[in-house]
Structure 1
Amino acid sequence: MPYESIEREIRIEASPEVVYQVISTPEHLREWWPDEADLAPTPGAVGSVTFGDPADPAAHVVPLTVIEADPPRRFAFRWVHDDGVPAAADNSFLVTFDLIPADGGTLLRFSETGFQDQGWKPDLVEATHRDHSNGWDHFLPRLAAYAPRLVSRP
């Protein structure tokens, strides 16, 4: 089904333990993805990511709920749902990061699903899918560049 999911695979020159920290903790998330992050990497934790200056009323604050936190293998959250409403399959997107040890680094398998589950008109589904796809194409390479900087070199 078109526009159902976004899937990416990237190789990162850092261990799954390091990559897990980079994708699940606010201090590291801010280095490659949002301008601000407020979340705990604990299943059920509710938080947010902010794009733009958090002091600016025009900043885009996006609520999220951590669904799975299994270090250093998997981190998943639901996001893009109305604030104050519990995240569910019919009102949010599911983002999953699977981390697989590979040749001294990590193979990151990324997916975002749920575009067809919102009850939206096809043109909105297509536009949102395209927007998110372009966003992840911008941010995931930043993750791949940032994580290796945390690895100590002899």
Structure 2
Amino acid sequence: MDQELGTIEREIFVEAAPEVVFEVVSDPEHVREWWPDEARYDVAPGATGEIVFGDPGAGGGVASFTVVEVERPRTFSFRWTHPAGEEARRGNSLLVTFELVPTDGGTLLRMTETGFREMGWEAAVLEQQYREHGAGWDHFLPRIAPYVARLATRS
């Protein structure tokens, strides 16, 4: 774990071409199968939307979401967690980047999440948010490869 609490980095290998993995990490129809319960946004730079975890009326959460970069099939990045109605920028949101590298008959998927230190949180909140996000990615990212495998059996 990054002791500076500034960047979360994870890597997973997915047995699929980068084109397939790109769709799975960028298209809301696929994203909701491994990450949030609902995802609403267009896959285009500058597009805004939201992702929903659980039932917002029963303690779940809604996070604002802004697509930053779409470079098929290599890079997909977005900012999230900014206040609703505010434009996502450094200092009010976290930046997640998925980098896809063709490797050994599949794809090495590198995920980085940055911007924790720029949020201006007090130390305890910074540490809590960093740990929660790290645990979240540790839970959700491993769901990608099995989901891709299920997609492959459908086609």
Give the shorter-chain TM-score range.
over 0.9
1:109 aligns with 2:133: no
Structure 1, unaligned stretches of length 5 or more?
none
1:148 Cα deviation (Å)?
2.3
In structure 1, the residue matched to 2:20 is 18
What CA distance in whole angstroms lies between the structure 2 residues aligned with 1:126 and 1:114? 13
| Preserved contact between residue 75 and residue 97 of structure 1 (Cα < 8 Å) | yes
1:152 Cα deviation (Å)?
5.2
Deviations 1:8-46 (A, max 9, x none): 111001111111111111110111000000011100000
Q: How many residues align?
A: 153
In structure 2, the residue matched to 1:144 is 145
What CA distance in whole angstroms lies between the structure 1 residues aligned with 2:36 and 2:87? 21
Q: Following TM superposition, where does structure 1 have runs of at least 4 consecutive aligned residues deviating by more than 6 angstroms?
A: none
Deviations 1:102-146 (A, max 9, x none): 111100011000000011111111000000000000000001221
In structure 1, the residue matched to 2:29 is 27
1:147 Cα deviation (Å)?
1.5
What CA distance in whole angstroms lies between the structure 2 residues aligned with 1:28 and 1:94? 20
* 3-state SS in 2 of match to 1:30: helix
Q: How does 1:4-153 map to 2 (within 5 A)?
A: 4-53=6-55, 56=57, 58-151=59-152
1:90 Cα deviation (Å)?
0.6
Given the two structures, how large is their TM-score scaled by the length of structure 1? 0.94
| Preserved contact between residue 18 and residue 150 of structure 1 (Cα < 8 Å) | no
* 3-state SS in 2 of match to 1:23: helix
What CA distance in whole angstroms lies between the structure 2 residues aligned with 1:148 and 1:102? 17
**1:40 to 1:153, Cα distance in 2 relative to 1, 3 A:** closer
Given the two structures, how large is their TM-score scaled by the length of structure 2? 0.93
Between stretches 142-151 and 73-82, larger displacement belongs to 142-151
| Preserved contact between residue 92 and residue 114 of structure 1 (Cα < 8 Å) | yes
Percentage of matched positions with identical amino acids = 54
| Preserved contact between residue 18 and residue 151 of structure 1 (Cα < 8 Å) | no
Give 2:37's aligned amino acid: D
